[in-house]
Amino acid sequence: MKVYGITNCNTVKKALDWLKANHVAYEFHDFKKLGISPEKLHEWDSKAGYEKFMNKQGLTWKQLDPGVKESIKTKEDALKLLQQKTSMIKRPVIEAGDFLFFGFDEGIYKGELL
């Protein structure tokens, strides 16, 4: 299982704490240190749609120049921006086999990861 996120995100911290408490092994991929490949973003988009993991509620989106926000017209525009501004990816991203989930939800984690 692979967990993508950033270490200073409270939601990522909650998810990692839950995984540790439930003895679920994982590999952590830090967006800030390692970035994210265009291929991985396209893979997530093909499985879930970029709208599912592009966080427009967070500070990074809210602080964007209005012109940049308005320039996001296509999937490719969105994925390019997400690669440049990884803090806009809803976190954590959990990949476990066919399971792909964005965010933390204890009920879903219990049902899918235990």
Catalytic residues: 9
* Residue appearing with tokens 């933390």: 104
CB-hemisphere CA count at 13 Å for 57? 6
Residue 40: other Cβ atoms inside 10 A = 17
With H, G, I as helix, E, B as strand and everything else as coil, classify residue 100: strand
- Number of residues in the chain: 114
